[in-house]
Chains A and B, each alone.
Chain A
Amino acid sequence: NAGVTQTPKFQVLKTGQSMTLQCAQDMNHEYMSWYRQDPGMGLRLIHYSVGAGITDQGEVPNGYNVSRSTTEDFPLRLLSAAPSQTSVYFCASSYRQKLFFGSGTQLSVL
């Protein structure tokens, strides 16, 4: 009954550090995506994948990388963290249009 598992739940980084947010789903969904949520701006799509080996950019991809080597996993990498990347990050997988979200990662970049 896991659904979408996202780790870590909280993270504090210094400017310039790199890190990877992990996302795994056990529903065998082909479509996975990463969103960031900032106050007053709703959810904005960072990157998405329509299947293993296929990724594409969303609305706000700069500063982030993704890869999709398996159907289950879709990690998000911050290459060199900046204060503008302070946000709440959600991973989602979807069956058709219905998104199933992970519990989120609250990231602060100092």
Chain B
Amino acid sequence: EDKVVQSPLSLVVHEGDTVTLNCSYEVTNFRSLLWYKQEKKAPTFLFMLTSSGIEKKSGRLSSILDKKELFSILNITATQTGDSAVYLCAVETTNDYKLSFGAGTTVTVRA
């Protein structure tokens, strides 16, 4: 059974802090790992990672994948209150293009 585990489950930081979120996985036939941000309702796409060691960046957010150790991290630098959200990690396998999601990490950024 495919398994995606995110840590921590939640954290509270102050504006300007740096946040590191972890996603580890155990799946057969890994194809890609995706990060989503969920604020009030629908998750929105952040990154898709397929190759080890190649950092994806978008503004203050960045993510990297380690296929040997089976994990990914999502970094948020200089956090703002608008970064408060649930961050979801999902893994796609080559079997059937379905995504398995982790439980998410709730990030709260205090002013």
Contact = CB atoms under 8 A, between A and B. Distances in A.
A58 B97 CA distance: 11
Nearest to B43: A101
B68 interface: no
B45 A98 contact: yes
Which one of A42, A45, A56, A103 has the greatest number of beta carbons of chain B within 10 Å? Answer: A42
A97 B36 CA distance: 12
Contact of B41 (A44, A56, A100, A103): A103
A109 B34 CA distance: 32
Interface of A: 4, 31, 33, 35, 40-45, 48, 50, 56, 58-59, 90, 97-104
Contact of A43 (B32, B88, B96, B97): B88
Interface residues of B, number: 24
B43 A99 contact: yes
A97 to B, nearest CB: 5
B54 interface: no
A58 B48 contact: no
Contacts of A59: 100
A97 B101 contact: no
B45 A48 contact: no
